[in-house]
Amino acid sequence: MSVVKTGLRHYLHIVVVIVGAGPVGLLLANLLGLRGIRTTVLERSVSIPPGSRAIGVMPPSLEILNEAGLVAPFLTAGRTVRRAVVHGTGGAPLGTLQFARVHPDFPYVLAIPQVATLEILEANLTKYPCVTVQRGSDVVGVESDRSGPVQVTIAGGGTVTGNFCVVAAGVRSGAVAGVEIPRRGGNYNRHFLMADFEDESGLGDDAHLWFTRSGAVESFPLPGGRRRWIVQLDSGTPNGQSTPALTRLVHQRSGYDLTGAAPLWESSFSPSWSLADRFHRDGQIFLAGDAAHTMSPIGGQGMNTGFADARHLAAVLEGSHGNSGAAADREAVARYQRFRQRAATIATGRAAAGMAVGTLTGPVASALRSGVIAAALNSPLRGSLARHFAMITIPRFAS
């Protein structure tokens, strides 16, 4: 076994292969690079996809980015959101969630499009000579026989070998041979449209949520003077519906008129959830991020939960002995499984509950919801609610 000396610390010679250069795979590569661990990231796409998707980076994730020396570029590229104003039917404000006291260093949620997150994470890897990103590598199989190294096979030929493999290839990771870990899951039968526009709303740096009798609208400030609008569809699936439907529903429910504004990016989603039965195979092949769990994007927790997986896994791999083919420390692996599955289960449950309450329609349910929200946001409970939405209360690994 050879020993690698990096900076002030000595590291055992561990080789990690990460499948997927999404936000979770790239953050993990940064955390391993920081620890001097040799890492190869295999990514099927030849370039970073332009889509916006995840925008909310929560304070616990900012702590992890800070540890990786990445918080400054994130703050430069993002926009801090310190308040979320909640409205009922007719637009009347019911109360405000204030993030000012949720965290001593990061008293906000950072809004940053996923493409910028990916660009920052990948660009930072050039600092670490021990990390390589191999784009255009479509992984088709991951194999290990418990006694030797993990063999990762790329479509068209080619194999990469490591002591450990982390599969962070998103929700369809099970399509990779050798990673067919059973998952539970389901759909919520709710459908949403979303689009990013130049912001002419005058809503400034605040997030705004409208929970109305005909459906929900969410609106978040983005960097670069932009704003994201998300609407719950009142009927049918998003198929064939796009910005005109979004514009009509935003106007009807919030009073904001987006007519004439061209979307800079638009998309639709029908949330579902899934949870892998196990987050590792034999302590050598690990799942992280959407490969292990997916949840409704309403609540903005999916990527953040994956970031916490990456942080925990970096410590597990650092603490492993790196003997060729040896599994990581059994107790550390068991803790990863227990801890991260519990955190993902809690986050998934909260995302589902938040979406169920927020999307209730009809006059009675809507009036009841408005009463409860107004009471909660104007009571001492509001501090706990802000911590809850900022994911401070999800169990976290402490090294």
Ligand X SMILES: Cc1cc2nc3c(=O)[nH]c(=O)nc-3n(C[C@H](O)[C@H](O)[C@H](O)COP(=O)(O)OP(=O)(O)OC[C@H]3O[C@@H](n4cnc5c(N)ncnc54)[C@H](O)[C@@H]3O)c2cc1C
Contacting residues for 284 by C-beta, under 8 A, at least 6 apart = 144, 146, 150, 163, 164, 165, 325, 327, 328
Please count the CA atoms within 13 angstroms of the CA of 210 that sit on its side-chain side.
23
- Given the rule CB under 6 A, which of 49-57, 65-73, 237-245, 321-329 is the region that contacts ligand X? 49-57
Question: Do 229 and 217 form a contact (C-beta atoms < 8 A)?
Answer: yes
Residue in the structure block whose two tokens are 């009841």: 368
Nearest to ligand X of 170, 223 (CB atom): 170
Nearest to ligand X of 14, 133 (CB atom): 133
At closest approach, how far in Å is the CB of 280 from ligand X?
15
Question: Of 37, 120, 303, 373, which one interacts with ligand X (CB under 6 A)?
Answer: 303
At closest approach, how far in Å is the CB of 265 from ligand X?
11
Question: Of 29, 31, 84, 169, which one interacts with ligand X (CB under 6 A)?
Answer: 169
Q: Is 170 in the site for ligand X (CB under 6 A)?
A: yes
Residue 67 tokens, joined = 């540890």
- What single-letter DSSP state applies at residue 141? E
Q: Is 54 in the site for ligand X (CB under 6 A)?
A: yes
**CA gyration radius, the chain:** 22
Q: Is 16 in the site for ligand X (CB under 6 A)?
A: no
At closest approach, how far in Å is the CB of 303 from ligand X?
3
Contacting residues for 357 by C-beta, under 8 A, at least 6 apart = 211, 369
At closest approach, how far in Å is the CB of 194 from ligand X?
6
Nearest to ligand X of 290, 318 (CB atom): 290
Question: Of 14, 16, 18, 19, which one interacts with ligand X (CB under 6 A)?
Answer: 19
Q: Is 107 in the site for ligand X (CB under 6 A)?
A: no
At closest approach, how far in Å is the CB of 309 from ligand X?
8
Question: Of 88, 95, 149, 289, which one interacts with ligand X (CB under 6 A)?
Answer: 289
Q: Is 237 in the site for ligand X (CB under 6 A)?
A: no
- Given the rule CB under 6 A, which of 73-81, 143-151, 276-284, 299-307 is the region that contacts ligand X? 299-307
Q: Is 304 in the site for ligand X (CB under 6 A)?
A: yes
Instruction: Give Cα separations from 286 to 209, 237, 278, 280 (angstroms).
Output: 37, 35, 9, 4
Question: Of 219, 254, 301, 341, which one interacts with ligand X (CB under 6 A)?
Answer: 301
Question: Closest Cα partner for 160 from 313, 38, 321, 303?
Answer: 38
Query: What is the sign of the dihedral through the CA atoms of 177, 182, 184 and 189?
Result: positive
Instruction: Give Cα separations from 69 to 127, 198, 331 (angstroms).
Output: 11, 31, 29
Q: Is 228 in the site for ligand X (CB under 6 A)?
A: no
Q: Is 22 in the site for ligand X (CB under 6 A)?
A: yes
Q: Is 297 in the site for ligand X (CB under 6 A)?
A: yes
Report the C-alpha gap between 171 and 252 in whole angstroms.
Answer: 35
Output phi, psi for 115, to 5 deg.
Answer: -60, -40
Report the C-alpha gap between 256 and 201 in whole angstroms.
Answer: 7
The residues binding ligand X (CB under 6 A) are: 19-25, 42-45, 53-56, 114, 138-139, 168-170, 176, 267, 269, 289-291, 297, 300-304, 306
